[in-house]
Amino acid sequence: MTVDRRSVSESTAARLSLYVRSLGVLETEGVRHVSSHAFARRFDLSSAQIRKDLATFGEFGVRGVGYEVSLLRRHLVSILGLDQTRSVAIVGAGRLGTALADYPGFRSGGFAVAALFDNDPAKIGTRTRSGLAVTSVADLPASVERLGIEIGVLTVPAEAAVEAGRLCWESGIAALLNFTSARLNAPSDVHVKNVDLKVNLETLSFYIGGGSPPTRKEEPWPRTRNRSLPRRT
Q: Number of C-alpha atoms within 13 angstroms, CB side, residue 220? A: 3
Please report which residue ranges of 93-133 form alpha helices under DSSP H.
95-102
Domain enclosing residue 104, as ranges: 86-200
Q: Strand 67-68 and strand 33-34: pairing?
A: antiparallel
Indicate if 75 and 92 belong to the same structural domain: no
Indicate if 102 and 122 belong to the same structural domain: yes
Tell me the residue type at 173. Answer: I
CATH classification of the domain holding 53:
1.10.10.10
- From 9, 6, 4, select the one nearest 189 (Cα to Cα): 6
Split into its structural domains, the chain has a count of: 2
Please report which residue ranges of the chain form alpha helices under DSSP H.
10-28, 36-43, 47-55, 69-79, 95-102, 140-147, 158-170, 197-208
For helices 69-79 and 10-28, angle between their N-to-C axes, nearest 10 degrees:
150
The model's pTM is 0.77
pLDDT tens, 130-144? Answer: 999 999 999 999 999
The confidence score (pLDDT) of residue 1 equals 57
pLDDT along the chain (233 residues), means of 10: 71 92 95 94 93 89 87 93 91 96 82 96 96 97 96 96 97 96 93 89 82 52 42 43
- From 113, 63, 124, 121, select the one nearest 86 (Cα to Cα): 113
pLDDT tens, 182-198? Answer: 999 999 999 999 998 88
Let me know if residue 96 belongs to a domain: yes
User: Residue 112: which region, alpha, beta or left (left: phi > 0; alpha: psi -120 to 50)?
Assistant: beta
The confidence score (pLDDT) of residue 60 equals 87
Secondary structure class of 97 (helix, strand, coil): helix
Backbone angles phi, psi at 221, to 5 degrees: -60, 130
Let me know if residue 186 belongs to a domain: yes
Let me know if residue 137 belongs to a domain: yes
The confidence score (pLDDT) of residue 62 equals 80
Report the Cα–Cα distance between both ends of the chain, in Å, rounded: 65
Contact between 53 and 3 under an 8 Å Cβ cutoff? The reply is no
With 0-12 / 13-18 / 19 or more C-beta atoms within 10 angstroms meaning exposed / middle / buried, residue 137 is buried
CATH classification of the domain holding 152:
3.40.50.720
Q: Which of the listed residues 56, 79, 102 is the one where a domain comes to its end?
A: 79
As a whole number of angstroms, the distance between CA 27 and CA 77 comes to: 14
As a whole number of angstroms, the distance between CA 179 and CA 196 comes to: 6
